[in-house]
Structure 1
Amino acid sequence: MSLQNEKLSSNPSLADIGTLNLEQECALINAFWPHLHLVHHDYIRDDYEAFFDFIGKTFRNLHPHASKLAIQELSGLIAIVKNLRDNRCLAQKEFIKYVKEDFSTSDCAAITRSIEVAVQIWLGIYVYSRKFSISPRNPRDSQVEWDDDQSLQGIIEAQFPGRLGKIELPDSLLDESFTAVNLKSICRLNIRWTNHIIDHLKLEGPRGQRTLSVYRHKICLINHRKDPAQNLILKDVLDEAIRTLDLLFPFGDPKTEQFLRNENVHFRTTSPLELSRAAALKESKYWRNNLAQLSRILHGPPEDVAQTLLDTRNVSQFATLWVAIFGVFLLTILFRIFTTVYSIKQYRIAIQSYELALALACQQTIKPISGFCG
């Protein structure tokens, strides 16, 4: 089956992923990861639903700029991905010259933009060139600048500094309570799904209003990891990213499975490497800082009043707090009741005192007071 005539941007309707049938989706996956040899009867569409939605959204956003891109067909995108895989060590300016052989009618700016799009889709890394970039983006997504004298492999390796040295942090265990669902329900963290691996486990926002970004394309990490050849993303990085997803979204946990269903995210695919669950911070290298911060938030004191009131981690403290709250509430109600009853009594006494004073005044006057003494 050929994808040669499947337009990417020139026809906006094809920006919708629904325009590709099952066999075409399989062909595109095999083009990105040739080692998979995926056939349609082994293809689980749910696993790739978010990925194809990401591709469709990317090209819909790029449609107004389609004339500024060198790629107009899926075959062009596939050609660039193949060149990226085979020439990862070339500096950008040299790589552009190499790719230009396949896009002789396009200028360097259009080719550069097309390379950026291919990297964003294939690797989940938002690269850009200051001179030529046009890709619309979410301002919360991190960008990686790619200078013309740098190789793609070099700039990607620089994004994961954990490989350069172990981060010194107090070690701690990551028990079974360390899940995204608990971080959300107990610590009131918002979960933001991201298409960019650089932003995985990035924590933003003030205390009590934090947002945690989570990379949503686990299937892409697994596909990269299955590649027997060297990856542009280090295999250690891929392994750790997969383990963090398995750690935060454990298999078989009913609350996690319900949360993922509600979010329409599919993490059921397991790694063929049977990676063990991370049990301690020391087992992490690239995301150790992020996990340590999340662990401190989960096991530390509440960050705001709302979290304090809903924090059930320590049942005795939780019960004591609410008993105290209800006690104060009950005392307040009783005090107001007693105050009201006392006020009514004071009012009645005041009326009676007034009537008594009026009666005495009427008895002591020779001439009755008009309007008061009948």
Structure 2
Amino acid sequence: MASIRSLLSDRPCADVEAFIISQLWGTDIQTLPGSYQSYFRYYGTECRRLQFGISKEAWQSTSMAANTHEHVILIVNTLALDKSRDRPAVRALLRQHFPSSHDLALDRSIDFALRAWLTLNVREESFALHTPRTPTIQWDDSSSLAGFVLRNFPRATTTSSYPLDHTFTAANINRLSGIDIEWTPCLADHLRFDKRRRLLRVYPFKQTLLDHLQIWESSKTTPEKVSRALIPLTVLKEALLSLDLLFPYRDPLTDSFMRQHDQTFHLKGPLMIPALSASWILITGEIGF
């Protein structure tokens, strides 16, 4: 049975998954059966991508400092110590644990940890073919972690919005216009519309959004949580609101649509918060019926 010290190539067992979730977001997975199923499909895919290549020498894992699930958690916890640190400062801290690792090995390990923790497609451009439909993003040596994350969620440059009602669902969009959903594990890619392929990219990890939201709430009373509150609060709430609108709870057409796509996040029900902004609704300007 795989343990937290198992290699990334070893699929984590349920206990290891529970530990990973508790370390990433402080959530007790035992109370949320099935909520992270799609997330761990993504996590497993990312682990397998580390061994893409015609030979072991070409594997990304060969040139990484991190090679176990425990290492990934260690890097995430190091990143979470202070979100104002830049990447060289993070590397300096990590060298206490990986003294013989060069910069590239540490950078690739940091990238993997960010993909696991923040679900952003942080990877070198040379590995862009690993995710050909999802743009890669890179953290350079000059910006802080907080600044890097923030620039991947630019605010809307227009105040225009479109009034939508309860019939504006993914199932109805698909039924009336033929536009389908393509799931993206990158939060920065959420609601990007591919006109050529008539696909709307949707981020499906609703539970991780709720976990990040809870971190923001906890940070109000727990100072050590502040550096873990990295995804902008408005982004989290708007993403959750968009999922609630497009995939409504207890809607028969949505239930059928989601079964076809092997997704269940809509069963968690709606997020009971007031709408903050309609900026994400601007995608409707590009979707023609």
Whether the aligned pair in 2 keeps the contact of 1:62 and 1:136 (CA below 8 Å) is no
Deviation at 1:253, TM superposition (A): 0.7
AA aligned to 1:93 is P
AA aligned to 1:159 is N
Deviation at 1:109, TM superposition (A): 0.7
Deviation at 1:136, TM superposition (A): 5.2
| d(CA) in 1 for partners of 2:117, 2:192 | 21
Whether the aligned pair in 2 keeps the contact of 1:62 and 1:135 (CA below 8 Å) is no
Equivalent residue for 1:168, pick from 152, 156, 159: 159
2:201 is aligned to: 213
**How many residues matched?**
270
1:73 has 2:61 as partner: no
Q: 1:123 to 1:90 in 2, by over 3 A?
A: same
2:177 is aligned to: 187
1:250 has 2:248 as partner: yes
SS of the aligned residue for 1:213 comes to strand
| d(CA) in 2 for partners of 1:105, 1:135 | 27
AA aligned to 1:47 is S
* Structure with more helix by fraction: 1
TM-score (norm 2): 0.86
1:121 has 2:111 as partner: no
AA aligned to 1:104 is P
Whether the aligned pair in 1 keeps the contact of 2:21 and 2:29 (CA below 8 Å) is no
Q: 1:33 to 1:220 in 2, by over 3 A?
A: same
Q: 1:47 to 1:139 in 2, by over 3 A?
A: same
| d(CA) in 2 for partners of 1:246, 1:29 | 23
Whether the aligned pair in 1 keeps the contact of 2:191 and 2:202 (CA below 8 Å) is yes
1:153 is aligned to: 146
Higher-Rg structure is 1
How do 1:16-27 and structure 2 match up within 5 A? 16=11, 20-27=12-19
Deviation at 1:3, TM superposition (A): 4.4
Which runs of 5 or more residues in structure 1 are unaligned?
Answer: 299-374
Deviation at 1:107, TM superposition (A): 1.3
| d(CA) in 2 for partners of 1:52, 1:192 | 18
Whether the aligned pair in 1 keeps the contact of 2:162 and 2:282 (CA below 8 Å) is no
RMSD, aligned α-carbons: 2.2
| d(CA) in 2 for partners of 1:259, 1:85 | 38
| d(CA) in 1 for partners of 2:172, 2:210 | 25
SS of the aligned residue for 1:192 comes to strand
TM-score (norm 1): 0.67
| d(CA) in 1 for partners of 2:134, 2:19 | 29
Whether the aligned pair in 2 keeps the contact of 1:126 and 1:142 (CA below 8 Å) is yes
How do 1:1-374 and structure 2 match up within 5 A? 3-9=3-9, 14=10, 16=11, 20-34=12-26, 36=27, 38=28, 40=30, 42-44=31-33, 46-63=34-51, 64-129=59-124, 134=127, 137-162=130-155, 167-169=158-160, 171-206=161-196, 209-227=197-215, 228-229=218-219, 230=226, 231-267=229-265, 268-270=267-269, 274-276=272-274, 283-285=277-279, 287-294=280-287, 297-298=288-289
- The alignment-based identity, stated in percent, is 28
AA aligned to 2:24 is F
AA aligned to 2:184 is T
Q: 1:216 to 1:39 in 2, by over 3 A?
A: closer
SS of the aligned residue for 1:104 comes to coil
Whether the aligned pair in 1 keeps the contact of 2:192 and 2:202 (CA below 8 Å) is yes
| d(CA) in 1 for partners of 2:67, 2:147 | 28
Deviation at 1:234, TM superposition (A): 1.0
Deviation at 1:129, TM superposition (A): 4.8
